Chain A
Amino acid sequence: MPVTVSMTVNGKAVSGEVEPRTLLVQFIRENLKLTGTHVGCDTSQCGACVVHIDGTSVKSCTVLAMQAEGSEVNTIESLATNDELHPMQAAFRENHGLQCGFCTPGMVMSAVDLVKENPDPSEQEIREWLEGNICRCTGYHNIVKSIKAGAEAMRS
């Protein structure tokens, strides 16, 4: 039996008809057509689907759309403003923090949340924070460099 779910996504009030078992990531990708959020493993391990719910990073493949009812959700599409990349996105581009790019939206969303909690993370802290974000190209070295640079840019 379809139900109606309503939330705020990237600052816009949205609602849609979903099945109760619809995942938040499905709602974002299929109902809202915001395909920047990726599904990698679908088992809450890889982090390609990371979005923010009420300002906190979560894996949207392991949240029901209904659980986000009434919440503020932000996806990777929320970061750039007026065609200007968010400092973390710019840092990933500048430092070549991606290879195939599939994990990048989740990496960036995860990184933005880290910097919110810890404005000047050490390399070790960045690596520990990325426990739940997997890059199958194994491009971690530049991802860590990007986050360090992105954090610095976000501070200034």
Chain B
Amino acid sequence: MYEFDYQRPASLADAVSALQSAEDGQLLAGGHTLLPTLKQRLARPSDLIDISSIGELRGIAVDGDTITVGATTTHAEVEGSEAVRSAIPALADLAGMIGDPQVRHRGTIGGSIANNDPAADYPGAVLGLGATVVTNKREITADDFFLGLFETALAEDEIITAVRFSKPEKACYMKFAQPASRFSLVGAFVAKTSGGVRVAVTGAGQEGVFRVTEMEAALDANFSADAIANIAVPDDNLNSDIHGSAEYRAHLIGVMAKRAIAGCG
């Protein structure tokens, strides 16, 4: 790691001003993406601004059919939350599929989506459920939030404070994990929501998470695995690497989406 200064602001307002005044500040929550990145010297921030002890950013709140997950809530907390499990079991299941238990004890939802790794799991849930990303400045719909490979709509001094999910009619996430890293080679999140069916795919796209609108339209008409049996996802913009070719990933999208539909019950 290159050298940096470490700051631990006590409030969101202090974190924003620390971020604004730092030469090249970087937020730190669980650090389970950032620290490995720094160890590889892929980034050189001047300051790490640790937001993990800001109480207002952490925790799970339920209001009717809305679940709000604070940005620094860990994967283990989401996985173990009775409230999440009863309202959106697919979200608790997904959190439990990330990394391993020790990683889930530190990694956070805000960190995951701010990083927008193309193989991360959470972007699948956030886009698949049509969630809303709440920041210190505004609210951003999932469709507007994920812009591409490691790119989001967040401004330089913008901090995610929470992610707001609406309870779907049903939802399921199915992940084909890369056997060594356990990142998703392909993950399909299927949700039947009041606004229609949403199918989000993570792990496969060169530009990160994306929706498969052709599948959504077919599933709106007939919510069954058969409805998408003949829909082929083009492999033009899919990742191709030693773990799987674009063609293989394209095939897996169909397989995982069908499993997710079956998993919706």
A residues near B, CB below 8 A?
1, 3, 19-21, 23, 42-44, 47, 50, 56-59, 62-64, 66-67, 69, 110, 113-114, 129, 131-133
Contacting pair B31 A62 (CB below 8 A) = yes
Which 10 pairs of residues, A with B, have the shortest CB-CB distance?
A: A132-B100, A20-B6, A131-B100, A21-B1, A66-B6, A59-B102, A132-B102, A56-B105, A62-B35, A57-B102
Q: Is the CB of A66 within 8 A of B4?
A: no
A117 to B7: give the CA distance in the assembly, Å. 32
CB neighbors of A among B1-48 (8 A):
1-6, 8, 28, 31-32, 35-36, 38-39, 48
Do A69 and B102 touch across chains, with their CB atoms under 8 A apart?
no
Interfacial chain A residues near B182, Cβ < 8 Å: 131
> What DSSP secondary structure best describes chain A's contact surface?
mixed
B101 close to A110 (CB less than 8 A): yes
Q: In the assembled complex, which residues on chain A have CB atoms less than 8 Å from the CB atom of B38?
A: 21
Contact between chains at A50 and B102 (CB < 8 Å): yes
Question: Which applies to chain B's interface (DSSP): helix, strand, loop or mixed?
Answer: mixed
Residues of A within 8 A of B5 (CB): 1, 20
Closest approach, in angstroms, between the C-beta of B37 and any C-beta of chain A? 11
Interface centre among B48, B52, B101, B182 (most CB of A within 10 A): B101
B106 within 8 Å of A (CB atoms): yes
**A132 to nearest B CB, angstroms?**
3
Q: Give per-residue flags for B105-128: 1 if the beta carbon is below 8 A from chain A beta carbons, else 0.
A: 110000000000000000000000
Alpha-carbon distance A63/B2, docked complex (angstroms):
16
B50 interface contact, C-beta 8 A = yes
- A117 CB to nearest B CB, Å: 9
**A44–B8 CB distance below 8 A:** no
A109, B59: Cα distance in complex, Å: 26
CA distance A21 to B5 in the complex (A): 8
Q: Closest CB-CB distance, A140 to chain B, in whole Å? A: 14
Contact B31 A110 (CB under 8 A): no
Known contacts A43-B39, A47-B102, A131-B101; is-contact A67 B31 (Cβ 8 Å): yes
Select which of B6, B39, B106 is within 8 A of A58 by beta carbon: B106
* A50–B36 alpha-carbon span in the complex (Å): 16
| A67–B100 touching, CB < 8 Å | no
Nearest CB in chain A: distance from B67 CB, A: 23
| CB of B35, distance to nearest CB on chain A (Å) | 5
- Given B36, B52, B101, which contacts A62 in the complex, CB threshold below 8 Å? B36
Question: Is B244 an interface position by the 8 A CB rule?
Answer: no
Provide the bound-state CA to CA distance between A156 and B99, in Å: 32
Given contacts A3-B6, A59-B102, 5 further A-B contacts (CB under 8 A): A20-B4, A21-B1, A64-B6, A66-B50, A129-B101
> In this complex, what residue of B is CB-closest to A21?
B1
- Partner among A23, A44, A114 whose Cβ is within 8 Å of the Cβ of B103: A44
Q: State which of B1, B39, B50, B101 has its C-beta within 8 Å of the C-beta of A67.
A: B50
| 6 residue pairs bridging A and B, Cβ less than 8 Å apart | A44-B32, A50-B102, A57-B101, A59-B102, A67-B50, A114-B101
| Cβ distance B191 to chain A, nearest Cβ, rounded Å | 26
Contact flags B76-115 to A (C-beta < 8 A → 1, else 0): 1000000000000000000000011111011000000000
Within the complex, the shortest CB–CB distance from A23 to chain B, in Å, comes to 8
Q: Name A66's contact: one of B8, B36, B101 (CB within 8 Å).
A: B8
B32 surroundings in chain A (CB, below 8 A):
44, 62
B133-190 contacts to A, CB under 8 A, are 182
Given A19-B3, A64-B35, A66-B8, A132:B106 Cβ within 8 A: no
B36 to A43, Cβ gap below 8 A? yes
B4, B100, B102, B106: which contacts A21 (Cβ < 8 A)? B4
User: In the assembled complex, how far is the CB of residue B254 from the closest CB belonging to chain A, in whole angstroms?
Assistant: 27
Q: Which residues of B contact A3 (CB under 8 A)?
A: 6
Across the interface, which residues of A come within 8 angstroms of B36, CB to CB? 43-44, 62
